[in-house]
Structure 1
Amino acid sequence: MQNQTDLAVNTAAPPSGSRRLGVIAVIATFGGLLFGYDTGVINGALAPLRAQLGLTTFTEGLVTSILLVGAAIGAAIGGQLSDRFGRRHNILLLAIVFALGTLGCVLAPHWGVLAVFRFVLGLAVGGASATVPVYLAEIAPVERRGSLVTRNELAIVSGQFAAFAINALIYSIWGTTVMVGGVEVYQHPNIWRWMLVIAVLPAFALFFGMLRMPESPRWLFEHGREDEALAVLRQVRSPERAQSEIDEVRELVQEEREHKIVRWSALNVGWMRRLILVGIGIAMIQQLTGINSVMYYGTALLEKAGFAADVAIVANTANGIIAVVGCLFGMSIMNRVNRRTMLLAGFIGTTAAHVLIGLSAKLVPDGASYKPVLIMIFVVLFVFIMQATAGPLAWLMLSEMFPLRFRGFAYGISGFMGWMTNFLVTLFFPSLIAGVGIANTYFIFAGLGVAAMVFIVKMVPETRGKTLERIEEDMIAGHYR
């Protein structure tokens, strides 16, 4: 098996190959953009939705969180479909599901239909979360894998920011309310439909763009299409390096086939079982930071902190801006800092931010004019640290650490558990805020952050600077560091 020193030779792709790799990354990450927009748009759409469709507290929570149930199922199924039919094929299918789910939500006559199509959107969101990072990891050269795969996280937070900004813009133009019979109603009650319909555009871009993109070379090789795999690698590598990678993949694929392990039976193999459990843990601790409580309920959280409703929806765009800035910062250092070190530092930072949010909510008097501003500052700090570290790192490490033959399957299981954790946090966050207050809610997140640090130190492997094949070889040998 080729070592890391060997891989230092011919690392530069020809200029045309670098451009081609860049185009592939841009097109594929439209899936991440859709992921971000569809999860973030509900943040500002809830108020007009509540007014027009008569949402109760229960149906509001259901409409918000049912997407996450769909995402959990979509991640589990999508991972297996991408193993069977191909990463590119799966992304094309997901683009269609994104478009259909969006149009169904936009045309929904009542909350029940909206919930059904939010679930459909969730299938696409989960499928994209399990497929796009794997596709990018399998086509990227080792020295650029970190920055290329985390472009998907950049696309996710950019999609969320776009949703926040578009919501605020639409709200400022058509969000006027009037009193009718003593009840406040929107002059333009369908504004939430305009907020949602924007997502059709990137769905079309993803579908038509992926028609011209290649399949993952590692998936092609695993399915006996060696010549096609080599041809794809030659689009984004020098000829010598493309052949070298194919030789390395061939050796490992032959070794995998000798073990004759298939999907669920992988759980009977000690090193695979440990790896899948670690993957599940990484996916869960990312969600237990509470990041999506901010991205989904940020406007409501800021109102609870003391901002007026019209100020809160505009102020919430700061979370979107800072998420993008944080992700860009993380990408700039991703290839220079070990994954475990960066992940641990991120959880130290997010846990400290949780404590600061909690102390601000608990110790500053409710009547103080600066209290909501102080809470907002620490929430924004939390979002920055999270999106600069654990946000992109979780998806990146999951795309790197699993064997080729089971990559989609294992990623799908991890993604399923991550999305179910996201669902539970989203479902109970409003109740926690209402029941124990902002301070105690964020103290709970801080306690979970301490537990996550222990998990990272004891269980999480290092994956930076290694080919996907070298990572697998290390896992088999039990070298987790």
Structure 2
Amino acid sequence: MDHCEKIDTAGGNTSCKHKKFFRKITIISTFGGLLFGYDTGVINGALPFMAQRGQLDLTPFTEGLITSSLLFGAAFGSLTGGRLADRIGRRKTILNLAFLFFIATIGCSFAPNTSVMIICRSLLGLAVGAASVTVPAFLAEMSPAEQRGKTITQNDLMIILGQLLAFTCNAVIGTSMGEYAHVWRFMLILATLPAIFLWFGMLIVPESPRWLASKGKVGEAFRVLKHVREENCAKAELTEIKASINRETEINRATLKDLSVPWIRRLVGLGIGIAIVQQITGVNSIMFYGTQILQKAGFARDAALVANIGNGVISVIACTFGIWIVGKVGRRPLLLTGLAGTTASILLIAICSITLQGTPVLPFIVIGLTITFLAFQQSAVSVVTWLMISEIFPLRLRGLGMGISVFFLWMMNFLIGLTFPVLLDQLGMSSTFFVFVVLGASAILYVKKYLPETKGRTLEELENDFRSNQGVRKASSGKGEINM
């Protein structure tokens, strides 16, 4: 790409025009990530108002159902989103998802009862899950190779920004309009605005050139590339795309039947393990139920809504730091450090909930510890999880392996979202967090024993290790790590 870079430098206004158009594409499409974040985060502040008598009259179990129904839908959305995008195109899929985001949000905002709310939240989950695979794929195919990593991580950042936006809107609406019975409906309906922006924005965004080329529309693919690249770069990239498509047509891709092969089963099992590790830290108990946790600790409702913004702010900062640090250190040590930090934070919350119960200092200690927890989670655990899931599978296994891994990630997310309010009600805050301490310690042991280092190693090297059953042995002995 050196030749292209030289042309860009000399191209002046032409190069600037291409970069502006690509930046516009990135901003518009990552509103899918913003919607992902807002719709998963808004429930945090809306639940206390929904649960009131005369509204949805929620029990701890129905609170869990409303929260987790989105996650259940997302699990299946992540499975179907990629196939739909392959069939009708990335752009059309995102347009359809924007419409589904809008309709499902309207349904949630005007839901007259719990049943309608659960149905609409499930539909919203389908959109969230499909967006979680379609938007990154679209960005990867639109990006120049040298900007691909940076561009895709902008979608991750938009997800976190969406959650921060949800926490902030919850606090503003909840503290200023808390006396109104239907205040939670205002919190939910705000998500229609980014959905409208995404739909209209995608009308001016071109289709992925790689998808067009895969459907034999090479001329259209070249026209799109010329909008975001210099012409010489566009020609070179189109040649690479056609060569890549030809190679992929010759690959015998893995199916569920291939799970009978031991090394494939081990590798897919590792992907599932990584996905589960990311969830059993308890991260989404804080992201979904942070307001209730702070109320249990002693904050009044309005104070809890405002304090919860701190969780969103630190998530954005930590995610930004994690994107920077992950390219500089090994995956295993970064993940182990993150898990140690999250488990220690949860342990301190559990201990302080017992020893300082009823004291005025407890709510401030809890918010400080949840912020510490999220600093470790978002800068290390979550960043490494998504990176490793995307890089451990060789090409013929990638569709199967990533699909199954992400499905289990969403299903574990669903189980935690469903059971957390019940555990909080039945066991209390300290005992509930002790459960996550045990799960966090188990995650650390799993990573130390089974997770190989992937930094600086090719997909072929990893595949050869697992074919010869070396992957697990290298992880457990520590020899899989690559020192800087």
- TM-score (structure 1 length as normaliser): 0.84
User: Which residue matches 2:92?
Assistant: 89
Larger displacement relative to structure 2 (143-152 or 127-136): 143-152
The AA in structure 1 aligned to 2:302 is D
* Mapping for residues 137-216 of structure 1, pairs under 5 Å: 137-176=140-179, 188-216=180-208
User: Which residue matches 1:78?
Assistant: 81
User: Which residue matches 1:129?
Assistant: 132
Q: CA deviation at 1:459?
A: 3.2
**1:96-119 deviation line (CA, Å, top 9, x unaligned):** 110110011112122211111111
Q: CA deviation at 1:338?
A: 4.9
User: Which residue matches 1:359?
Assistant: 351
**1:359-410 deviation line (CA, Å, top 9, x unaligned):** 3334x33233212211210111111221223334433444555566775664
User: Which residue matches 2:378?
Assistant: 387
Q: Alpha carbons of 1:56 and 1:350: their partners in 2 closer, same or farther (altered >3 Å)?
A: closer
Q: Alpha carbons of 1:231 and 1:80: their partners in 2 closer, same or farther (altered >3 Å)?
A: same
Counterpart-to-counterpart distance in 1, 2:76 and 2:186: 28
Q: CA deviation at 1:148?
A: 1.8
User: Which residue matches 1:220?
Assistant: 212
Q: Alpha carbons of 1:233 and 1:446: their partners in 2 closer, same or farther (altered >3 Å)?
A: farther
Q: 2:280 aligns with which of 274, 277, 288?
A: 288
Identity %: 45
Larger displacement relative to structure 2 (72-81 or 393-402): 393-402
Larger displacement relative to structure 2 (201-210 or 222-231): 222-231
Q: CA deviation at 1:305?
A: 1.4
User: Which residue matches 1:260?
Assistant: 252
Q: 1:459 aligns with which of 438, 444, 451?
A: 451
**1:172-205 deviation line (CA, Å, top 9, x unaligned):** 22212xxxxxxxxxxx211111111100110111
Q: CA deviation at 1:357?
A: 2.4
Do the aligned residues in 2 keep the contact of 1:102 with 1:196 (CA within 8 Å)? yes
Q: Alpha carbons of 1:438 and 1:109: their partners in 2 closer, same or farther (altered >3 Å)?
A: closer
Do the aligned residues in 2 keep the contact of 1:291 with 1:386 (CA within 8 Å)? yes
Counterpart-to-counterpart distance in 2, 1:434 and 1:335: 42
Q: CA deviation at 1:267?
A: 4.2
Structure with the larger RCO, 1 or 2 (CA within 8 Å, 6+ apart): 1
What is the DSSP-based 3-state SS (H/G/I as helix, E as strand, rest coil) of the residue aligned with 2:281?
Answer: coil
Do the aligned residues in 1 keep the contact of 2:42 with 2:167 (CA within 8 Å)? yes
Q: CA deviation at 1:337?
A: 4.5
Larger displacement relative to structure 2 (52-61 or 62-71): 52-61
Q: Alpha carbons of 1:361 and 1:300: their partners in 2 closer, same or farther (altered >3 Å)?
A: same
User: Which residue matches 2:101?
Assistant: 98
Counterpart-to-counterpart distance in 1, 2:225 and 2:73: 34
Counterpart-to-counterpart distance in 2, 1:76 and 1:301: 32
- TM-score (structure 2 length as normaliser): 0.84
What is the DSSP-based 3-state SS (H/G/I as helix, E as strand, rest coil) of the residue aligned with 1:213?
Answer: coil
Does the alignment pair 1:58 with 2:49? no
Counterpart-to-counterpart distance in 2, 1:201 and 1:411: 31
What is the DSSP-based 3-state SS (H/G/I as helix, E as strand, rest coil) of the residue aligned with 2:359?
Answer: coil
Counterpart-to-counterpart distance in 2, 1:109 and 1:440: 35
Do the aligned residues in 2 keep the contact of 1:397 with 1:463 (CA within 8 Å)? no
Q: CA deviation at 1:123?
A: 0.8
The AA in structure 2 aligned to 1:150 is T
Counterpart-to-counterpart distance in 1, 2:273 and 2:124: 25
Do the aligned residues in 1 keep the contact of 2:332 with 2:451 (CA within 8 Å)? no
Counterpart-to-counterpart distance in 1, 2:86 and 2:200: 22
Q: CA deviation at 1:309?
A: 2.1
Larger displacement relative to structure 2 (44-53 or 210-219): 210-219
Do the aligned residues in 2 keep the contact of 1:280 with 1:418 (CA within 8 Å)? yes
Q: 1:313 aligns with which of 305, 309, 312?
A: 305
Larger displacement relative to structure 2 (263-272 or 317-326): 263-272
Does the alignment pair 1:433 with 2:424? yes
User: Which residue matches 2:475?
Assistant: none
The AA in structure 2 aligned to 1:45 is A
User: Which residue matches 1:24?
Assistant: 25
Q: Alpha carbons of 1:434 and 1:48: their partners in 2 closer, same or farther (altered >3 Å)?
A: closer
Do the aligned residues in 2 keep the contact of 1:76 with 1:409 (CA within 8 Å)? no
Q: 2:113 aligns with which of 110, 115, 138?
A: 110
User: Which residue matches 1:49?
Assistant: 50
Q: Alpha carbons of 1:417 and 1:28: their partners in 2 closer, same or farther (altered >3 Å)?
A: same
Q: Alpha carbons of 1:358 and 1:416: their partners in 2 closer, same or farther (altered >3 Å)?
A: same
The AA in structure 2 aligned to 1:301 is I
Do the aligned residues in 2 keep the contact of 1:299 with 1:313 (CA within 8 Å)? yes
Counterpart-to-counterpart distance in 2, 1:341 and 1:142: 27
Q: Alpha carbons of 1:80 and 1:459: their partners in 2 closer, same or farther (altered >3 Å)?
A: farther
Count of residues paired in the alignment: 458
List alignment gaps of at least 5 residues for structure 2.
9-14, 472-479
The AA in structure 2 aligned to 1:346 is G
Counterpart-to-counterpart distance in 1, 2:395 and 2:214: 8
Counterpart-to-counterpart distance in 2, 1:402 and 1:211: 34
Q: CA deviation at 1:216?
A: 3.0
**1:71-90 deviation line (CA, Å, top 9, x unaligned):** 11111111222233332222
Q: CA deviation at 1:161?
A: 1.4
User: Which residue matches 2:11?
Assistant: none
Q: CA deviation at 1:69?
A: 0.9
List alignment gaps of at least 5 residues for structure 1.
1-6, 177-187
Q: CA deviation at 1:419?
A: 0.8
Counterpart-to-counterpart distance in 2, 1:274 and 1:225: 39
The AA in structure 1 aligned to 2:276 is M
* Mapping for residues 323-402 of structure 1, pairs under 5 Å: 323-362=315-354, 364-399=355-390
Q: CA deviation at 1:460?
A: 5.0
Q: CA deviation at 1:289?
A: 1.6
